[in-house]
Amino acid sequence: MSDTQTTETMSTSNTTGTETPGNGAAKALLQEEVTVLSSLRKSANDVVTEIGQLEVRKARLLGSLSEIEARAQGVLNTAGERLDIPDGQPWQVTPDGNIVMIPEGIPGGPAPEAGV
């Protein structure tokens, strides 16, 4: 590794690079390069904005999902009370709507809905 290091920075300039390197003149990007970089920067900002909008939509969808799950749990709780299922007693609902009691200490299989 040499004692000197070259670092590159991205900056925009409206000048064109007409000077040749090594003659002591300031170095600049070609106007075409400036235009391309400006366009790419705008595209990147547009993507970041879209990601932000998607995050807001995602948060709203997660809120909707939470409300749906709370409503489903409310239906299960009401059914459990109506059917005199003791609190803490594991149970499941079959696809045809029947209640299956799960003996305590025995893990139940996957079920579409379960009440506790």
Tens digit of each residue's pLDDT (9 = 90 or more) over 50-92: 999 999 999 999 999 999 999 999 999 999 999 999 998 999 9
Cβ–Cβ under 8 Å, residues 83 and 100:
no
The Cα 76–Cα 13 span in angstroms is 66
pLDDT of residue 112: 46
Q: Is 87 exposed, middle or buried (0-12, 13-18, 19+ CB in 10 A)?
A: exposed
Give yes or no for residue 101 having a pLDDT over 50. yes
Q: What residue segments make up the domains of the chain, in order of their start?
A: 28-82, 85-116
Query: What is the predicted pLDDT for the residue at 57?
Result: 98
Mean residue pLDDT across the chain: 82
